[in-house]
Amino acid sequence: MKTKFLFLDEKEHAIDSLTQSLSFLVHTEQNPFNWKWFIIAFHNTLHSFMLLALKKGDLSGIWENEDRMKVNDRFDVFSEKGKLVDFMKAFKWIQEKERMSKYAHSKEFKSENIIEIENRMKALNTDLRNQFIHFRPVAWGASPDYITEICYPLIELLEFLGSTKVVPMSLKEENLIKEYTASIKSLLKIHLNDSVE
C-alpha cells in the first residue's frame, strides 16, 4: 500500500482555504452550521492571502520580532522568538507601500471603501471568527444577514489579494482563485439581496 502525505505550502494553504470557504457557503441552506465553518475558512483565506502578499523570498516579512529570528545572519522560520503577524496587523501591513514593494509589479492595497473594509475586517475577526474558534458554553448567535453584511465588502480585498500583481502564481492558479472568489461574491450577494427583501 502506498503511503500518502499531506503536503502544504503557503499558496496551497490559501487556495485550499478559499476552496473550503466556497464549499461551506454553498451548503449553508442544507446545514446552517456551515455558516460557522464558512466564517472560519473565509477568515483563514483572507489571512493566508495577506501573508502570501507580505512574504518575502526568505519567508520574512510576516513575523513579529523578525529581528530576533536570525541565526548566523539567516532567517530562521522555526525560531520560537517570533510569531506570525495577526489578522489585523497583516491587514494594516498590506496597506503600506514599503512592505508591499518586494516585486516590481507589487502594490499596496488601496480602496475608496477602506474605512468600511477595516470595520468589516475587525467584525469578521472579533465578532464572528473569534466567537467560533474560542467558543464558550453560552448561547450565542449571528444571523446569516449579519454574516453576509460583514463578508460581502471584503470581496474587494480578496479580489486584490488573488491577483498575480500581488502574489506570484501561475495563470491556472489565478483563474481558479478568480472563479472561486466570483462564486463566493455571487452567493453572498444572493444572501444580501434576500435579507433586504
Q: Tell me what pLDDT residue 191 has.
A: 83
Q: In what helix (H) or strand (E) does residue 64 lie, and over which residues does it extend?
A: strand 63-64
Task: Kindly provide the b/e burial profile for residues 170-182, where b requires at least 16 CB atoms within 10 angstroms of the residue's own CB.
Answer: eeebbebbeebbe
Measured between alpha carbons, how far is 16 from 55 in angstroms, rounded to an integer? 18
Q: What is the mean pLDDT of the chain?
A: 89
What single-letter amino acid sits at 18? Answer: L
Q: What span, in angstroms and rounded, lies between the C-alpha atoms of 186 and 190?
A: 6
Percent of the chain past pLDDT 70, that is, above it, reads 96
- pLDDT tens readout for residues 20-77: 999 999 999 999 999 999 999 999 999 999 999 999 888 888 988 888 887 777 778 7
pLDDT tens for residues 179-196?
A: 999 999 999 999 877 654
E strand or H helix at 118: helix 114-122
Residue type, 12: E
Residue 158 C-alpha cell reads as 480578496
What is the per-residue pLDDT across 10-34, written as a single tens digit (0 to 9) for each? 899 999 999 999 999 999 999 999 9
